[in-house]
Structure 1
Amino acid sequence: MALRLPKQDYRDIERIIEFDFVRATEAAALNALRWLGRGDKEAADAAACDAMRGMFDLMNICGEVVIGEGIKDNAPGIFKGEQLGTWIPGSPQFDIAIDPIDGTTNISKGAPNSISCIAAASPEEGVKVALRDIPSFYMSKLAYGARVIDYMKKRGDSLHIDMPIAEMLAIVARAVDKRVQDMAVMMLDRPRHKEIVEQIRAAGASLRMIGDGDIAAAIAPSLPDSDVDLYMGIGGSPEAVLAAAGIKSLGGDMQSKMWPRDEKERKKLIADGYEKDLDRV
């Protein structure tokens, strides 16, 4: 029996496709729900991937995955280079960054902060890709909300990912109208953050340490009721791109910078032509 694709009126193309993307993330989350707390993160990820791919099979787009699953987590996934959508001639083209479930460990343990994510953009004329795949495994990240941006515009202050942490916290505290002692900074609970943790606590701010769920954590400072003032630390590069897209849509901002894990990775990045990008924010 032949599959009949639903008829779609693309006079309001942007609005329709936006909701198609939303439905894809909803389907992924709902299909993974049955694995909540069952200790099998690969099964949860596979369920989310199957549901999301099924929704894309009904979407009249020409989509190519430029940032996908599988490489970082060695998990079942929707991979870089995979084509999504019906690819009917004349359909809009999209570069797609995708993570059917960020925080698979969380869902396997029944913990919160797993999230299903899609970021999509159409390349402008003369531009090959609209979303950039970062070559490093990890990135250093700094994310903050709209109040911080508004404050910096009015006062002329600026944040930089490499500035001293005490100075950074002082600027954000003024922006959100808090004492540094009343601020909350979120980051992944990892040994590599030992020095950053010590500096944050020495400055007087409190920490919200999480086990997994880098994307939801980075977005938190841009949500008005999250009580998280700043996100910082080192996490996956694909998650940085997805988080940045969400943060931008919420009026916040995110700075990120490639973070080679060791000298071997640094040398490989240089050999691959990314030497100038290593210090780029």
Structure 2
Amino acid sequence: HKEIVEQIRAAGASLRMIGDGDIAAAIAPSLPDSDVDLYMGIGGSPEAVLAAAGIKSLGGDMQSKMWPRDEKERKRLIADGYEKDLDRVYSADDLAHGQNIIFCATGISDSALLPGVRARGGVTAITHSILMRVKSKTVRFIRARHNLQTKTIRLRSDNREHII
């Protein structure tokens, strides 16, 4: 995207490059209170489907297409019968079809969508989550306080509950 990045900067628009968090970044332009106007990038197919579910819940849309990493992956897609789909442009509805779809996420690290986990003295943690439904276009933001002294995790190694 080097040429596009140069054109955006030459026009005076702000630009943020990200390494991770492409689902949150893809959804952010559909949020009314977001400062993000456009998302453009390359991500995996599972991430595109998850982003499509969130974007549809907000009444937005997206355009995406297959982008093989290299010639070997392109040949594999063709061998698997996807040759005609390589140039197809997919909408959010193509990737997340129907109305019985929900999207939920909890921020682990800060993103354009949600703040990350905030530890409070090793005793509590604050998390921020979002829950959205396509059918009703309902969006819920959830702020939760977790008492880490009572949280447990079951380890596979001994199949017992351990306090975090």
TM-score (norm. length: structure 1): 0.30
Residue 42 of structure 2 corresponds to: 234
List alignment gaps of at least 5 residues for structure 1: 1-192
Aligned counterpart in structure 2 of residue 248 of structure 1, from 41, 46, 56? 56
- In structure 2, the residue matched to 1:219 is 27
Q: Which has the higher helix share?
A: 1
Say whether 1:260 aligns with 2:57. Answer: no
Q: 1: CA distance between counterparts of 2:19 and 2:79?
A: 33
Deviation of the 1:268 alpha carbon: 1.2
Q: Find the counterpart in structure 1 of residue 12 from structure 2.
A: 204
- Corresponding residue of 2:118: none
Measured in 2, the distance between the counterparts of 1:235 and 1:244 equals: 12
| Superposition deviation, residue 202 in structure 1 | 2.7
**Could you tell me how far 1:195 is from its partner in structure 2?**
3.3
* 1:201 Cα offset (Å): 1.6
1:74-93 equivalences under 5 Å are: none
Map 1:139-218; keep pairs closer than 5 Å.
193-218=1-26
Q: Distance in 2 between matches of 1:199 and 1:258?
A: 24
Amino acid aligned to 1:227: D
AA of the residue aligned to 1:256: S
1:199 positional shift: 2.7
Identity among equivalent positions (%) equals 99
Deviation track 1:67-124 (CA, whole Å, cap 9, x = no partner) reads xxxxxxxxxxxxxxxxxxxxxxxxxxxxxxxxxxxxxxxxxxxxxxxxxxxxxxxxxx
The equivalent residue for 1:280 is: 88
Matches within 5 A, 1:27-176: none
- 4+ residue runs over 6 A deviation: none
208-217 vs 251-260, which moves further:
208-217
Cα shift at 1:196: 3.0
Q: Deviations over 1:222-264 (max 9, x none)?
A: 1111111111111121101000111001011111100011111
Letter in 1 for 2:2: K
Partner secondary structure for residue 42 of structure 2 = strand
**TM-score, normalisation: structure 2:** 0.51
3-state DSSP of counterpart to 1:220:
helix
Aligned positions, number: 89
Hey, what does 1:118 align to over in structure 2? none
Question: What one-letter code is carried by the residue in structure 2 that aligns with 1:198?
Answer: E
